[in-house]
Amino acid sequence: MAHANYIFTSESVSEGHPDKVCDRISDEIVDLIYREARKTDADPWAVRIACETLATTNRVIIAGEVRLPKSLMKTDKDGKEVVNAGRIRSAARRAIKDIGYEQDGFHWKTAKIDVLLHSQSADIAQGVDKSHETRDQEGGGDVAEGAGDQGIMFGYACRETPEMMPAPIYYSHRILELLSAARKKGEGEPGKLGPDAKSQVSIRYENDQPVEATSIVLSIQHMDESWDSKKVREVCEPYIREALEGLPIADDCVWFINPTGKFVIGGPDGDAGLTGRKIIVDTYGGAAPHGGGAFSGKDTTKVDRSAAYMARYLAKNVVSAKLADKCTIQIAYAIGVAQPVSVYVNLHDTANNVTEAQVQDAIRATVDLSPTGIRRHLDLNKPIYAKTAAYGHFGRKPGRDGSFSWEKLDLASKLKAAIKP
């Protein structure tokens, strides 16, 4: 049995962190492709995207495999149909500009952008387009998609915050979100902060509940070279305290604000970035297991993304239904196979008159966990992914545009009704 009194720490990184710049570019391209498919009456279900981005000093490289609508293709001098790289570059530049990079070493206008996207492997496509179970069937009706790869995906929810997220990652994200909003206003001293930042919050737990912050770490880029750590703390501390509203700060809390001193050179000019290197920041801050697959740059046939969203949706609705106070769900897939090979539920000894087996059965009875079923249930074939690239994929408010649909609580009553004695 886990101990009840402890200190737990999670970190977050800002939208201007080099890895997050790459996540954002990759997801802007996902959105571009879904948007074009919907706008041109192409089939959004046929879209395939696996887009990886690398960024370094004034250089961005975009690679991967795709299946695109005709509007994003062009004919080269040899008459061969190829990806319209100009459209991809424009999406990348817009993302970099929105993040706020206009520095000598990384500028949205002058960075060289190479596009190395190519068509999806036919070997992978044959397993995804028609699943192993349905490939040889005849007749009408829908054909279930197979999973785009094997793998395990986890979802988690708890009662530590109103958003049903673990407190350390929730507060780490919030610090950076408030500082980013202040920076983008461009007013006064907060306007001199840079896009690149990292936060980290340690929280003391008593009886498995968060009670106070014991250490706060922030490293944030600043464009005024005269600033020292003391000045950065003076500018940032009000936003940190606002972000931690609702969580007491211990009297002996240790603060580390820009502990190495000056932080002027940041972003991809200071350190190379890659898509998919912040998977713990993207999820639960280490408070729950992770299957290892990244989200950004992938269409929703990739269960790394869609099944992780579904697992979070299920876990959150289990907690919302008061079946338990804490829930972890694992879903596992085989490539080309539509239905998961296993569904696992852990209620962490917080169940309210139910067993894990009953919840597992209720999930299977309530939701179609094939990639097709997940995409339909959560309405995922939309350009809604750029906003997921920073500050976490979970614990966010569902948007009118269909974004963060996996955060809805509309399944709780159905799960509860499906519990069998």
Contact by Cβ (8 Å): 250, 204: yes
DSSP H or E segment with residue 171: helix 167-185
Distances (CA, A) of 286 to 9, 91, 221, 346: 8, 32, 25, 16
Distances (CA, A) of 300 to 169, 350, 379, 410: 25, 32, 10, 21
The total of other beta-carbon atoms located within 10 Å of residue 302's CB is: 23
What are the phi and psi torsion angles at 277 (to 5°)? -100, 5
Q: Name every residue whose Cβ is closer than 8 Å to that of residue 229 and which is 6 or more positions away in sequence.
A: 257, 258, 259, 261
For residue 50, give the 3-state DSSP assignment.
strand
DSSP per position, 262-297: ---S-GGGTS-EETT--HHHHTTTTSS---S---TT
| Tokens (6 digits) for 307 | 């099944």
By annotation, the residues acting in catalysis are 17, 19-20, 52, 65, 198, 263, 271-272, 277-278, 298, 302, 304
Q: Name every residue whose Cβ is closer than 8 Å to that of residue 193 and which is 6 or more positions away in sequence.
A: 179, 182, 183, 220, 221, 222, 223, 235, 236
Cα gap 139→46, rounded to integer Å: 20
Cα gap 340→152, rounded to integer Å: 10
Contact by Cβ (8 Å): 29, 62: yes
Residue type present at position 275: T
| Tokens (6 digits) for 25 | 């570019």
| Tokens (6 digits) for 237 | 């501390």
Cα gap 177→184, rounded to integer Å: 11
Distances (CA, A) of 100 to 103, 193, 282, 312, 325: 9, 11, 21, 31, 40
